[in-house]
Amino acid sequence: MILVTGGAGFIGSAMVWRLNQRGYDDILVVDELATSDKWKNLNPLAFADYWHKDELLRRVEQNTMPRIEAVVHLGACSSTTERDSDYLMKNNVAYSQALATWCLERGVRMVYASSAATYGDGAQGYVDDESAIDALRPLNQYGYSKQRFDLWARRTGALKKIVGLKFFNVFGPNEYHKQDMSSVVFKAYHQIVATGQVKLFRSYEANYADGGQMRDFVYVKDCVDVIDWLLEQKFGGLFNLGTGQAQTWNDLARAVFAALGRAAAIEYIDMPEALRGRYQYFTQADMRKLAATGCPVKFHTLEAAVEDYVQQYLHTAQPHLANDVTPTPAAIRPAA
């Protein structure tokens, strides 16, 4: 059985979908559904069982877990605007420590989500060098919580066995429940359909034109392909997960217009005062470390990824990733 925490969320449900595409459904999904619409991500997918996140922690602490071959730990508070630091430290750090310790004691393969938010304003660059992560200064509490777990994993030697992924700007199907935290592709699509134009933030840095702020945008399908490959490897470490090619918000918006067959119409608006001092003007994953492992995943171009997302999901009556492969008894055997 493969355990996927955050399995009803954006990347987590995409991971369940990827496993389904490989004909695998012996999956334990862990999440906290509450009153959100995340359940819709699970509706078309195949998996063995669902647990609330508190049930998993209880089972880990009481040592009453079923046999688990691998853990994909994507469950966390992912809101970059969350201000409750105590909650983040409990939910994103202590919980991850307990689960990682359980995996390490039993030789269970673990891949977990870190974040590019750990890089802060990028003054130290975006190189995934584990020996240099002490110098990173995240700009918000969310990034700090991810940084704390990375530091713990390195200090305890856990990173020799488990893999952490510093996700950059991920977008794609199954993010529909994220509301304000959804991608600009998702927001732009709905703005265009409703008004015929897209609104982007003005720049407050002389080196960047309005809409010229740059991000490393990466498609969720590529992310889960990387995780899928990593589950069958034996090495540990901390790795960036982006495309390695930064592009502008203008590029992103134009790709959405192109996918809809429309001419671009962009309006620039003021950035909220609260964001201006914490805003990243440039992010770009240094992907050399992951490439050196032999990872075979070929990333979509921004234009191809946006076209797939818009035309196959956003602009259809069936937006969610769906299990369209009949699972078989053949088990995926991740390396311990």
Query: Which residues are catalytic, by number?
Result: 142, 178
Distance, CA of 298 to CA of 72 (rounded, Å): 21
Residues 325, 21: contact at Cβ < 8 Å? Answer: yes
Residues 260, 191: contact at Cβ < 8 Å? Answer: no
Q: What is the residue type of 158?
A: A
Which H or E element spans position 241?
strand 237-241
Residues 146, 115: contact at Cβ < 8 Å? Answer: yes
Query: What would the DSSP string read from start to end of 15-84?
Result: HHHHHHHTT---EEEEE--TTSSTHHHHTT---SEEEEHHHHHHHHHHT-----SEEEE--S---TT---
